[in-house]
């Protein structure tokens, strides 16, 4: 393998779940009467932490309010997704393949801990990851490089020895700024939208490209 560390975003990478997050956000926006549509969601919401998003929506609110809004929105999402959840095509086989190589795996996501637990434990894939960094563990959300810098640090690797799989523009910018190699996953954005941000694009983890990284 060319890289020693393989770092995966969660939403849109480990699971192709954006339509369920979007449905939950639309219901939330209707209740709290703020503007949201598919374009705003794609351009603004992907890759951001809940804290960043709720401050963007509501202004200077307390940490307690952020937690309250976050629990409400994520409960909506989990109710919509719990019976539909499945791993992204080919990714579990890819995890198993990587585990036969001398590499380390990390999850680097802006998602809150409750959604990380919901995803990893529902799909029984927690054991594949040597390191898990979620939105509660960072001060700065994507596109800031903090999440991927932390992943590399906790993997005991240099960022240049790590490759990041990301679906959002903010996430790709985060991985690149951290000094990692990056692969775009065309789930929340089209390949045309990603091509200016990344050299390699995949649609799922059955793509032969992923076995030559």
**CA dist list (Å): 17 to 85, 86, 100, 139, 181:** 8, 9, 28, 25, 24
Domain ranges, ordered by start, for the chain: 5-16+87-212, 18-81
- The class level of CATH for 18-81 reads mainly alpha
**Residue 162 near residue 152 (C-beta atoms within 8 A):** yes
Q: How many CB atoms lie within 10 A of CB 146?
A: 18
- In this predicted structure, the answer to whether residue 47 has a pLDDT above a threshold of 90 is no
- What pTM value is reported for the model? 0.91
- What is the chain's mean pLDDT, rounded? 94
- In this predicted structure, the answer to whether residue 15 has a pLDDT above a threshold of 90 is yes
CATH node for 5-16+87-212 = 3.40.50.1000
Residue 33: per-residue pLDDT: 94
| Mean pLDDT on 79-108 | 97
- The whole-angstrom separation of Cα 163 and Cα 183 is 7
| Mean pLDDT on 49-75 | 93
- The whole-angstrom separation of Cα 88 and Cα 16 is 6
| Mean pLDDT on 203-210 | 96
Percent of the chain beyond pLDDT 90? 85
């Amino acid at each position: 393998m060319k890289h020693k560390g393989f770092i995966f975003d969660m939403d849109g990478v480990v699971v192709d779940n954006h339509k369920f997050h979007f449905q939950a956000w639309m219901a939330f926006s209707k209740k709290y009467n703020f503007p949201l549509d598919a374009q705003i969601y794609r351009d603004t919401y992907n890759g951001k932490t809940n804290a960043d998003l709720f401050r963007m929506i509501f202004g200077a609110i307390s940490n307690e309010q952020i937690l309250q809004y976050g629990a409400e929105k994520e409960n909506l999402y989990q109710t919509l997704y719990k019976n539909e959840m499945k791993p992204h095509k080919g990714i579990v086989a890819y995890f198993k393949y990587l585990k036969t190589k001398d590499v380390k795996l990390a999850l680097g996501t802006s998602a809150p801990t409750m959604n990380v637990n919901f995803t990893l434990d529902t799909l029984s894939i927690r054991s594949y990851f040597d390191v898990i960094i979620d939105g509660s563990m960072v001060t700065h959300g994507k596109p800031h490089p903090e999440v991927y810098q932390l992943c590399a640090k906790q993997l005991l690797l240099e960022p240049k020895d790590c490759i990041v799989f990301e679906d959002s523009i903010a996430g790709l910018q985060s991985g690149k700024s951290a000094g990692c190699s990056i692969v775009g996953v065309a789930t929340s954005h089209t390949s045309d939208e990603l091509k200016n941000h990344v050299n390699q694009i995949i649609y799922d983890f059955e793509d032969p490209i992923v076995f030559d990284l």
